[in-house]
Amino acid sequence: MRKIQRGTDIAVSRWRLKWLAGIVVVAFLTVIVRLFFIQVLAHEYYRDLADAQHTGFADIAAQRGTIYARDHTNELESELYPLAISKTFFEIYLTPSEITQPVNAADLLAEVLGVDHDTILQRAQKENDPYETVTSKATDEQMRAIMDAGIEGIHSRETVWRNYPDKEIGSHIIGFFGVEGSGRVGKYGLEGYWQSELAGTDEEGMVMRDGLGQIIPSVGSDLGLAEDGADLVLTIDRTIQYEVCLQLQAGVERFAADSGTTVVLETDTGAILAMCSYPSFDPNEYGEVKDVNYFNNSAVFEAYEPGSVFKPLSMAVAIDQGLVSPSTTYEDIGEVTIDDRTIKNFDEKAHGVKTMTEVLQESLNTGIVFATRQVPNRKFFDYVRAFGFGEKTGVQLSQEVAGILGKLDSGGDIYKATASYGQGITVTPLQMVAAINSLANGGILMQPYIVDEVRHSDGTVERTEPRQLRRVVSAETADTVSAMMIRVAEEGYDRKASIPGYYIAGKTGTAQIVENGEYTSKTNHTFVGFGPGPDPRFTVLVKLTNVKNVGFASDSTTPIFNKIATFLVQYFKIPPNR
């Protein structure tokens, strides 16, 4: 009986092995058939299905162009430094109605992003809420750490943010990339003026996506269809810009002014090497600015009565017409009457017999009226227009204004008389420095410009060539007035502008501020100077608005100019010539 049982067991085992082997063979054949079906018979169907999961049409955003300044800290060659650059981040957001693990979601986001755990937990538990932003500036590493965790209800999408590395320094030149409607556009400054060039052209095309749904570069995709924005290379020298902005800020604070503006031109080209306004703002945080007036670039937006800083131009007109010379004299009795209106000197005193050079040195209103009195009114107006006033300079910045010449072209003698010492007309700081620059440049008015190159995405480069607008006065007149201005900076009220070993020319202006059509006790202080002679390299304007603790520009803007000019002669390594 035992032998029969053992034989039966062996037979059963063999049957089981055969049955198991049969199952394995059938399963193997099934897999082979299935693979044959997928890879051969249904290959195109499954390929299209996979492609549909990883490819598709999408809006392809153009990369916004970068704005560069020149950086000359490397003595061997200049380098480019980004003042405005686009950076890719990721928005991390929640769909609370999809979240089944709110605590896990809050734990993850708090750990990776450093956000408050309880706040995120509260947001994640909002029933039926379709959207809650966690951050708009997650890095690629942070995004992947979050999405790889696979927690339902957490999503990401690519965002592009504009970054401004120098923050407040030169912010009025740059402007910012701000919200408009449902999109973002450049506002103010270069960002606004050059919006279309910087933005480029978006396109729709076929793209590839990775496992997280992010667009990836690949052969055959249409990522290249978008036309990226152009890069701007500025005339701004970053080192000069930084120093000038610091000196302006210190001056505004030291002299308790409401605000200030500084412009530095390269004399022979009109290139803007620095342009600062203070108070400034951080374009990275433009949304925190409560008063939109802070965004205005006062160098081109704020037209004001310049005061006596205008006198060198008026003197140039009279000299160019052959009516006076530096040695021409008149007797100053302290006042002069024009069209039944009495004009007095700033100190309301008589100064006796004075030369035209002394008129500029002592800033005598009666003297400049004497010099220009014989110039026909229309001729004087034509000169003022030729110096660039009453029209925009054409600088490549948004919000530029033209200033107002009032009745200078059609009124009586009084309008010419007051304009001769910078009252009754308004000018922008950029217009003023450009006009004085024409005297430093042999009588030729140069167009100020701030963009040196426009570098397009196709590799083409547009270069700005220095542009001579017109000859305003003869070279002889320009040299004569420049020499008179050197005397002003060395022997007049403006002696604080002088630099030992160099010929520096300059003139101040202290002008009452007009409010509601009336002159007030508040004053604007301006100094414009250039140097070093006889071949000036730079022309500088410094303006302070509503200075409160000193009375005249000779004690406020003049020392600021001196610090800037001293820095410039050292920076340019200009050797003393006297």
Rounded distance between C-alpha atoms, residue 202 and residue 229, angstroms: 10
pLDDT for res 84: 94
Exposed, middle or buried by CB within 10 Å (0-12, 13-18, 19+), for 315?
A: buried
Rounded distance between C-alpha atoms, residue 149 and residue 170, angstroms: 43
In three-state form (DSSP H/G/I as H, E/B as E, the rest C), the secondary structure along 319-335 is HHCCCCCCCCEEEECCE
Name the amino acid, one letter, at 97: S
Rounded distance between C-alpha atoms, residue 265 and residue 441, angstroms: 11
CB 192 within 8 A of CB 209: no
Q: What is the pTM of this model?
A: 0.82
pLDDT for res 35: 58
Torsion of CA 470, 475, 479, 480, to 10 degrees: -110
CB 355 within 8 A of CB 368: no
523: nearest Cα among 495, 557, 481: 557
pLDDT for res 223: 44
Both structure tokens of 120? 């995120």
The β-bridge partners of 81 are 69
Name the DSSP class of 254.
H
Helix (H, G, I), strand (E, B) or coil at 336: strand
Both structure tokens of 93? 């957001």
Place of tokens 């006076």: 324
Name the amino acid, one letter, at 110: A
pLDDT for res 20: 67
pLDDT for res 102: 86
| Local mean pLDDT, 10-residue blocks, the chain (578 residues) | 54 65 66 58 54 54 89 76 90 86 88 89 82 85 88 84 91 90 86 91 59 47 67 96 97 96 98 96 89 91 96 98 97 94 93 96 96 95 98 94 92 93 96 98 98 94 97 98 96 87 96 91 96 96 96 94 97 92
